[in-house]
Chain A
Amino acid sequence: MMASDPAAETTAPPADARPSAVTGALKDAIVSGLLTALLLTPLVGFRASESGTGSLVLTYRFGLVAIFAGIVMVGRFLLMVTVWNPNRPPRRVSTTPGAMARIGALAAPAVKPVFFSFAILYPFLSILMAGGLSPSRYWVDLGIYVLTYVMLGWGLNIVVGLAGLLDLGYVAFYAVGAYTFALLSTSVPINDFFAGTLGDGFWTAWAFWICLPLSGILAAMWGVILGFPVLRLRGDYLAIVTLAFGEIIRLVLINWVSLTNGGAGISSIPPITFFGVPFDSSDTGFASIFGLEFNSMHRMIFLYFVILGLAALTAIVTIRLRKMPVGRAWEALREDEIACRSLGINTTLTKLTAFATGAMFGGFAGAFFAVRIRFVSPESFTFMESAVILAIVVLGGMGSQMGVAGAAILLIGGMELLRNLSFLKADFLFGPDFDPSLYRMLIFGFAMVAVMVWRPRGLVSSRMPTVFLKQRKAVSGSLVKEGHG
């Protein structure tokens, strides 16, 4: 798992003095194996387990350490004699994208239509595959869950991928959106006000549709308020400050009990309605108006299309904005801030628009989250949530929309699958106590490091310029170098 990286040590000696690849590989494998064993001994070899009396007792797992060390040793050895072999001819850096990228370029025009048609057909497909409305609940729910992260990824992509601002507090805007909707929709005075003017059930029926834009606007406002003072800072300071803001907002949500009900959260948020028509079994409900048999899945499927619509809105707005001067300015800012400033771009204003736009979509997603779960609590808005969204954007290749969508499906869907890998609980593998979902964040963290080391531009790394002279040419990711951001 942790072995030294060969890329840093390929300062090859002259050709005749090279030791045989196998000897070198063997030496390297033994060293890294021993290092792994040494690193894992204290925290994997020993475990401080709770005993019945409350004090800690030591349990031992040296076999596990040996297994990991063995895996690292064999893996290193195989890599050193094949892929990382110093005697292999060095790979040429080609100016044209590689074979994979060419296939990608051929498939590119088809990817988006295929993706969107699949997304639209997905609930119907899952009903067909699962055989009925009610059995498909799990799959539709999974689709909603994944699309929420696709949307959040696309929203953060505007800030991180397009404008190059590392925002570690994105979840704050998600929280602002969720709490805006939760507080407004459960507010008694507002309900009474509308009950007096527009009828009794009005606010419960329309709360989501009225609050959705409000949540976005409020989140964008918070983006401006938080962004204005901090956007002068350089990249990594900005990251830390946004992280601090995210934490401050979460701590305030926990401690301002009179407004937010503290850690207990806000429950009994009214459910989503079909533009005022509730999803219930009454005569005025969705099912009887459309002549269907009542099924609670109707609401789920509607939720799916709402989040699909919101995600599509995010994507379309981003694509349009990229072609406008402000989008161009974002991308220029990401590549080189000083050059930008010297060309007369108002960097503060440009950053602020990116921050606010990203925050607005975070707010939309937050309102959707609140109406889906019908319960909000500060627990849902921890730093880890920001980190997951950031991991999606980073892994997808910052700036690439399809890459981000792919990464969201891969990470969130993959993690969900991990939960279901019950065969791993077999006795000969990990035993019945093994909980694969515990490894979720471990894999996230590992993936972030691995992507940065091997493919810093993410999984979809080629850049398609939005401005071009005669012919649109994709640029290989390895040739693109960013300036100071």
Chain B
Amino acid sequence: MDVFLQQLINGLTLGSIYGLIAIGYTMVFGIIGMVNFAHGDVFMVSAFIALICVLVLTTLVGLSSIFVILAITLVVAMLFTGLVSWTIERVAYRPLRGSFRLAPMISAIGMSILLSNFVQVAQGPRNKPLPPMVTDVIVVMENDGYQVTLAYKQIIIMVVTAVLLAGFWYLVQKTSLGRAQRACEQDRKMAALLGVNVDQTIALTFVIGAALAAVAGVMYLMYYGVVNFADGFVPGVKAFTAAVLGGIGSLPGAVLGGILIGLIETFWSAYFSIEYKDVAAFSILVVTLIFLPQGLLGRPEVEKV
């Protein structure tokens, strides 16, 4: 029971991070039907931007309050990552609209390689460790010397995720941007005829997805305290798995899928084998796509001529 509870807490934390990344995949897929393969690397870039920002704030500006630093880092990372994603969409994806179907995917793979190697060249190939920022923990229960702990950083991750998701939900459901997005999702040509600026809407979708990935990046950096140029790939694939599991194109599905993947991964590591945890995640992807391609909350896709 105590191990279970501890893994539940860890799984929910990890799941929140995956869920935030998964939203970027699912939104882009919903609106232009492409798998944004570079999204995982955008997440990695955001973690690096956050790392630089934390270093600037602590060493150059000399801030000491952790919460101020985190808040500023969050905003800076979201802004810069949004800008990066906007540029990527503009340079690598927009010219390919109307090209053959695999073209954007191949371009995205190229972008993914470009981003991770750009960071490797610019920042060096080694792990970048930060001193732990938030170390306090709450002991939830104690049983024969086994402590179930809830770290402050885990609370921060869950609270920030929940707040941002609520804000994001409001954005998509209640604002004119969200309406335009949903319109483009249903029928891009008709939306354009009715005065929706389709290009701008798609660009903003990329920016929002990247901003949420940046939140995940900051949380990842805070949680693990270390980041590497190759860290985009595996979390990216897992977040994509989450998006597929939840039903690609469905926003609540992405969050649900993220949490499920996070839970499965931590429980698998705890009860079966930690070596095969990535195999478990990748197998879920394969099994979901084969047997349940529409996911848990998605609509089945109808192929049109």
Contacts and interface: CB of A to CB of B under 8 A. Distances in A.
A391 B105 CA distance: 12
B109 interface: yes
Contact of A4 (B53, B90, B105): B90
B91 to A, nearest CB: 5
B49 A43 contact: yes
A453 B91 contact: yes
By secondary structure, the A interface counts as helix
Contacts of B220: none
B52 interface: yes
B128 interface: yes
Nearest to A388: B113
Given A229-B290, A240-B240, A482-B101, A384 B113 contact: yes
Q: Give the dominant DSSP class at B's interface.
A: helix
Interface residues of A, number: 69
Nearest to B128: A48
B233 interface: yes
Contact of A48 (B51, B104, B244): B51
Contact of A57 (B59, B95, B285, B303): B59
A389 to B, nearest CB: 12
B278 A38 contact: no
Interface stretch (B11-19, B64-72, B115-123, B153-161): B115-123
A384 B289 CA distance: 23
A58 B60 contact: yes
B91 A3 contact: yes
A9 to B, nearest CB: 9
Interface in A52-94: 54-58
Contact of B87 (A35, A235, A482): A35
Contacts of B90: 4-5, 8
B61 to A, nearest CB: 12
B55 A56 contact: yes
Contacts of B126: 50
B4 interface: no
B42 to A, nearest CB: 12
A243 B96 contact: no
B103 A2 contact: no
Given A248-B282, A449-B114, A58 B122 contact: no
B17 to A, nearest CB: 20
Interface stretch (A108-116, A271-279, A419-427, A438-446): A438-446
Q: Which of B96, B106, B286: most chain A CB closer than 10 A?
A: B106
24 contacts: A2-B91, A4-B91, A43-B48, A43-B52, A43-B123, A46-B52, A56-B129, A56-B130, A57-B55, A234-B303, A236-B105, A239-B102, A248-B282, A338-B303, A384-B113, A387-B113, A441-B117, A442-B121, A445-B110, A445-B115, A452-B104, A452-B110, A456-B103, A482-B100
Interface of A: 2-5, 7-8, 35, 38-39, 42-44, 46-50, 54-58, 164, 166, 168, 229-230, 233-237, 239-241, 243-245, 247-248, 251-252, 254-255, 338, 383-384, 387, 390-391, 394, 438-439, 441-442, 444-449, 452-453, 456, 481-485
- Closest 6 pairs (CB-CB, A-B): A448-B110, A445-B114, A445-B113, A482-B100, A452-B107, A449-B110
Given A240-B244, A452-B106, 17 more contacts: A5-B91, A47-B122, A47-B124, A235-B102, A237-B35, A240-B35, A243-B237, A251-B282, A255-B279, A390-B109, A394-B106, A439-B117, A441-B116, A446-B110, A449-B110, A452-B107, A481-B100
